[in-house]
Amino acid sequence: MVGSSLVSEAKAALNRFVLFRSMLSRILAALLGGYLFTNVMSLLLFFLLVDNDLITEQTDEVNIAAIHSVFNSMAAIGLSSFVIYTIAALWVFHTRSASRAWAGMLLPSIVGIGIIYWLLPPAIHELLRG
Amino acid sequence: MNNSALKSTKKPNSFRQSMSSLHTWIGLLPSWILYFMFITGTAGYFNTEITQWMQPEIPFAGESASQSEMLASAEQRLKTVGAKADEWYIGFPDGRNQFLRIEWEGHLSDAEKEKLSDEGFTEKEIEEKEEALEGEEKLYPKSGLPIEYADGVTEARETGGGNKLYVMHYALYYLPTTFARYLVIFCTLFMLTALVTGVVVHKKIFKDFFTFRPGKKQRSWLDSHNLFSVLSLPFQFMITYSGLLFFLSNIMPVLAFAPIALIGIDLNDALSAGRVKDMSPKNQELIQIVSEEIFNQSKNVELAGTTAVLTPLTDLLKQMNSARPNKSVRYISVENVYDLNARVEVQLTREVGSGNGNHYVFNGVTGERISKEPVIQGNESSLNAVREADTVMRNLHEGRFAPIILRWLYFFSGLMGAAMIATGTILWSVKRREKAEKKGYNSKGLVLVECLNVAVVVGLPIAVAMYFWANRLIPASFPERANWEVNTMFIVWGLMFAHAALCPRRRVWIDQLWLGAMVCGLLPLLNFFTTDRHLGISLVQGDRLMAGFDLTMLAFGVAFGLTALSMHKRVSGFAVKASPPTNLVEGALVSSSANN
């Protein structure tokens, strides 16, 4: 009698722990994973919107058209970033499991970082290599 | 039993279900801070009006005059008081500011400073001499004379005014700036998520909107939560989303700084230098171009060093009026007043967009318009519209362009946001209270939420009203009186928390509601005893600012009183019903025990 109630209590505690851990994991996935995801996706959007020809032209003169293009695209990603973050957070709390939530945030981010690196103008590549 | 709890994390539950619990918790956690932000921010839409009520020494402006008449008298006044100044500012009265305002500022040239230091003046004395060259005045619009303060005082009392309330809604109070900023950002992000999940949860959003079941506890709270939310949903989305835009560089610095590297700015230099002055010449040049091209700021003009006569400003106004007949001028500023390079800037009234065409620059000597070179548009595309959208969102948040009726609409929408938050948290506690009563146990979390709900929902408005009481009761000469006005507000708020924590649950709501009715409703009476700007005079004079404030507070007092009254009835009705058995089961138990 006593033994079985102890076992069931332990089981309940374990269940609570598993539930708590998966909840905590989701919260972190939404806050941190979602944050990374938003930044990467917004930067990706930036490079798709900005006029690449204007930026890769490396002239000594100040290129006013390029400045406009950069600031316009910046406004666009600024406006969309919070929408991306919110949708990401909702998805994290809806998806089947916490590990799926993490995967959904991290994998696209890694791919996105790769594409951004590929899209960067050559001058920046040189800068990053030191 | 326990397995089902475990399964629920693995089994795909419906989207609406998962969003419902997210809405519950993400809404509850930041709700009290959000309520504070909504109340202070809503008051902020009337910040200048509140400040004017809080400085009753500043008289009623009386009749207005035409802009050209006002400009002529302002110019005349500046020629006497600002004779040694090189910068002038003339602000015209509008719906919010009742006076014609002039400001002037003078600078000592390097040669003059050197001469003074040779004469043996210390650096501090020279600074004081330079400060003596600047000043500001409020003028009566009709007569053009400087205002006379009431009761023979020479300046209005020191006060934080409405602006202090306005700043609180994003900087909070007493807290370190950075901490407060990130707390506000966090709560706002939660708010945005709560709004989206809230829409998802309510599938029958319009049906819900027309449903109201009064007197049914939980359902009534849910219905009123829906009512406030649906009614003001567009406003709530706009205000939350645009509020976040202001903090973009704090939330996602990568998005704000990384792209800048592409226009050639050396980020390492820019970030390490901090101030523009200390940056590399190339960065300085780029920042100058960006501020002119993107932010439409005009270039500073150097002094020519040759004296010249300023063209009559009234002529420029005539020129403006014929060019833009439907617009009125907000302010006129003059740089290098007595110099050959004098320049006059005319700013028209605000618009919801960027208002690029609202800013006119004239040569101050010839009176010719200096037209800006047309912007070279590399991509005259829809992306320009995006930048405009960004500006519109920010302007919508601040609502500075809003004329009086729209301003009231902003005010009511803000109050509805506060009501939405309040009904949401009350709904949370009422639901759990019903369950707890049935189970017969009290959870600490529930008691805490209930306590916070009263002390924030009713206690905060009481504290804000006490801020206004403090303004009238703290003597004008009291040291640091502006700070003590705010301290009073927070001390009273602290007392409300103590009251909510210590007194019996049923009574705290009614007690605080009655207190709210008193402090708001009696404020016009306090104004009557402490100033001669009370309703009896302001209504007769047509002083809309003073009368508007008093009447609004009176309305709040009545609203609190009516709520207290209805709650009183409900509770006393409850007490009558509670004396016989409350339900059938209980009744059966009572009768069976009586039989035994």
Query: CB under 8 Å to A118, separation ≥6 — which residues?
Result: none
CA distance A110 to A40: 8
List phi, psi (to 5°) of B347.
-110, 125
Put simply, the answer to whether A42 touches B22 (Cβ < 8 Å) is: no
Measure CB to CB from residue B390 to each of A49, A75, A94 and give the nearest one: A75
The pLDDT value given to residue B11: 44
Confirm if B564 and B514 have CB atoms less than 8 A apart. yes
The pLDDT value given to residue A2: 56
**Partners of B139 in the β-ladder:** B100, B146
Q: What angle do CA B117, B120, B123 make, to 5 degrees?
A: 50
Measure CB to CB from residue B241 to each of A65, A69, A82 and give the nearest one: A82
How many CB atoms neighbour CB B119 within 10 A?
A: 8
Distance from CA of B193 to the nearest CA of A (A): 6
List phi, psi (to 5°) of B89.
-140, 130
DSSP string, B20-35: HHHHHHHHHTTHHHHH
In the numeric block, which tokens belong to residue B249? 């560089």
Measure CB to CB from residue A68 to each of B192, B255, B378 and give the nearest one: B378
Taking alpha carbons only, the member of B53, B46, B44, B52 closest to residue B138 is B52
The pLDDT value given to residue B452: 96
The pLDDT value given to residue B382: 58
Residue, of B213 and A40, whose pLDDT is higher? A40
Q: Kindly state the average pLDDT of the residues A58-83.
A: 83
**Partners of A57 in the β-ladder:** none
CA distance B127 to B121: 10
Q: Give me the helix-helix angle, B459-473 and B544-578, nearest 10°.
A: 140
CA distance B45 to B413: 11
Contact status of A21 with chain B (Cβ, < 8 Å): no
Distance from CA of B6 to the nearest CA of A (A): 6
Put simply, the answer to whether A72 touches B5 (Cβ < 8 Å) is: no
DSSP class of B339: B
The pLDDT value given to residue B376: 42
Distance from CA of B571 to the nearest CA of A (A): 39
Q: Coil, strand, or helix at residue B193?
A: helix
Measure CB to CB from residue B378 to each of A65, A81, A96 and give the nearest one: A65
Put simply, the answer to whether A71 touches B244 (Cβ < 8 Å) is: no
Q: Which residue of A has its CA nearest to B374?
A: A64
Confirm if B378 and B359 have CB atoms less than 8 A apart. no
CA distance B112 to B109: 5
* Contacts B264 to A, Cβ<8 Å: 62
Contact status of A109 with chain B (Cβ, < 8 Å): no
Q: Which residue of B has its CA nearest to A95?
A: B12
Please report which helix (H) or strand (E) contains residue B333, including its range. strand B329-335
Mean pLDDT lowest for which of A48-62, A104-118, B87-101? A48-62
Measure CB to CB from residue A74 to each of B259, B377, B384 and give the nearest one: B259
First CA to last CA distance, chain B? 39
In the numeric block, which tokens belong to residue B334? 């003059």
Query: CB under 8 Å to B537, separation ≥6 — which residues?
Result: B543
Burial letters B273-288, b for 16+ CB under 10 A, else e: eeeeeebeeebeebee
pLDDT along chain B (596 residues), means of 10: 40 71 92 98 96 93 89 92 89 90 89 85 85 90 88 86 96 95 96 92 68 72 89 94 93 85 78 80 83 74 82 89 86 90 89 77 88 48 75 92 93 97 94 86 87 96 98 93 96 97 89 96 96 91 93 97 88 49 39 42
Q: Coil, strand, or helix at residue B345?
A: strand
Put simply, the answer to whether A46 touches B255 (Cβ < 8 Å) is: yes
On the CB side of A97, how many CA atoms lie within 13 Å of its CA?
8
Distances (CA, A) of A123 to B29, B254, B260, B281, B387: 47, 19, 14, 21, 27
> How many pairs of residues across A and B have Cβ atoms under 8 Å apart?
138
Percentages helix, strand, coil for chain A, rounded to the nearest 5?
90, 0, 10
The pLDDT value given to residue B131: 86
* Contacts A42 to B, Cβ<8 Å: 252, 255
The pLDDT value given to residue A128: 65
Put simply, the answer to whether A79 touches B377 (Cβ < 8 Å) is: no
The whole-angstrom distance between residue B314's C-alpha and the CA centroid of its chain comes to 35
In the numeric block, which tokens belong to residue B12? 């795909």
Q: Which residue of A has its CA nearest to B254?
A: A39
Question: Is the pTM of the predicted complex or chain greater than 0.80?
Answer: yes
* Contacts B281 to A, Cβ<8 Å: none
Residues 67-96 of A with CB under 8 A from B: 67-79, 81-82, 85-86, 89-90, 93-94, 96
For strands B343-348 and B359-363, give the pairing. antiparallel
In the numeric block, which tokens belong to residue B262? 């592409």
The pLDDT value given to residue B562: 96
CA distance B230 to B235: 10
* Contacts A94 to B, Cβ<8 Å: 15, 18-19
Write down the H helix ranges in B246-312: 248-251, 253-261, 267-273, 281-293
Distance from CA of A12 to the nearest CA of B (A): 6
Put simply, the answer to whether A82 touches B192 (Cβ < 8 Å) is: yes
* Contacts A35 to B, Cβ<8 Å: 252
Measure CB to CB from residue B5 to each of A19, A49, A96 and give the nearest one: A19
The pLDDT value given to residue B149: 86
